Chain A
């Protein structure tokens, strides 16, 4: 079983919809939780990161972490065609360098 599980989709929504992306994990030692966006044939870019449990909002994006359930979410409000990409969740221990990634969810926002 993988340490981080992510529904690969694909997910297709109309423009303006609210999108919910989720990951579950098994290792309670993870402390930092990240969401990356990856466009086709590009490297991932960090969208948001959260330390421990809680919510974090940045514009149209909201990240939620529930450590008791080992469950993290990314919400995208008023989705745009430019949001079409693969979204990867990732997690890190407090003092370890490497991140453990989910397999990514491919999102298409249709005009």
Chain B
């Protein structure tokens, strides 16, 4: 079946502009995660959804970052007034549930470059 898909695959934007990143999880997966990976770094947790609700938003770096999930499926991560330090690969993952031990399946990521 289809895996996790993300769009766009690459995004170049100017400092101060808003961007929207999209994630389509695997069908039937109730849990969805957003991570950020800076060059040469591990994955930094941003937020996760169980269904449409976000029990843990603790990783969002500032109030410029927000995310929503509608219909228990597609999720959008929005970064307002982008800064150069926002440049990174944004990875989305989904799992059957959010319980520990569930395999998280990752998408290919969106590479964001803020000029």
On A, residues with C-beta under 8 Å from B are 4, 6, 8, 31-32, 41-46, 49, 51, 88, 90, 92-104
The residues in B between 91 and 115 inclusive whose CB is less than 8 angstroms from any CB of A are 91, 93, 95, 98-101, 103-109
Contacts of A90 in B (CB 8 A): 43
**Mind listing 24 A-B residue pairs with CB under 8 Å?**
A4-B42, A31-B100, A31-B101, A43-B91, A43-B107, A43-B109, A44-B91, A45-B106, A46-B105, A51-B101, A92-B101, A94-B100, A96-B56, A97-B31, A97-B55, A97-B56, A97-B95, A97-B99, A98-B45, A99-B33, A99-B43, A101-B35, A101-B42, A101-B45
Q: A42-B108, A43-B109 are in contact. Are A101 and B43 (CB under 8 A)?
A: yes
> Top 10 A-B pairs ranked by shortest CB distance?
A43-B106, A97-B98, A101-B42, A103-B42, A101-B43, A97-B48, A98-B45, A94-B100, A92-B100, A32-B101
A83 to B24, CA, bound (A): 28
Contacts of A100 in B (CB 8 A): 45
Shortest B12–chain A CB gap in Å is 16
A100 to B58, CA, bound (A): 13
Tell me whether B50 is interfacial, beta carbon within 8 Å.
yes
Shortest B36–chain A CB gap in Å is 11
A97 to B35, CA, bound (A): 12
On B, residues with C-beta under 8 Å from A are 4, 31, 33, 35, 40-45, 48, 50, 55-56, 59, 91, 93, 95, 98-101, 103-109
Q: A43-B106, A98-B59 are in contact. Are A103 and B41 (CB under 8 A)?
A: yes
Name B91's closest neighbour in chain A (CB-CB).
A43
Q: Counting chain A CB atoms within 10 Å of each CB, which of B42, B59, B106 scores highest?
A: B42
